[in-house]
Amino acid sequence: MNSHATDRRAHSALSGLGGGLLLLCFWAAAAPAATPGDISRAYKETCDRLVCQCGCNEQLSVCAMQNCSSATPMRAEIRERLQKGDPVDQIVDSFVARYGKKVLSAPTTTGFDLSAWIMPFVILCLGLVVVVWVAVRMARPAAEAVQPELPPVDPRVEEELKEFEKEI
């Protein structure tokens, strides 16, 4: 009986292993291998992250200058390195090492560069606060608009006005 239970456990372990192997085979067949589409997607991503250095200040992917002295060799290097299998981040990092941060189309999200992402929102919020403050101030009745109290009128002036009105 003990050997029968051991056989059952071994059989269920093997069937579980077989199912896992079968699942792994299906997953491997469904996962696409590196295709030219993957390289073109990585190429576009890399070119979008870099700026052409010819002075046009366009992303490398949209620099329209024909035979650009900067974009053409940079694009060729990117294509070559992607075909070798280099990751996008490594390619971008090598261009940053060569040209500096000015080659990036967007600032990084670390250190002082983070302020380039945050400051527009801070300025927008401050502007909103100022607009609300001005609107509230304009909506309130001004304290200066209340007419000041006039000094009391001399009783002799009152009598003369009454007499003048009788004559008219």
**DSSP 3-state assignment of 59?**
strand
- What CA–CA distance (Å, rounded) separates 30 from 41? 19
| Gap between the Cα atoms of 47 and 52, Å rounded | 9
What is the value of pTM for the model shown?
A: 0.51
Average pLDDT, the chain: 78
What is the rounded CA–CA span in Å between residue 31 and residue 27? 6
The pLDDT value recorded for residue 10 is: 45
| 94-146 pLDDT tens trace | 999 999 988 998 887 788 878 888 999 999 999 999 999 999 988 887 655 56
Over 60: is that where the pLDDT of 164 sits? yes
Amino acid identity at 103? V
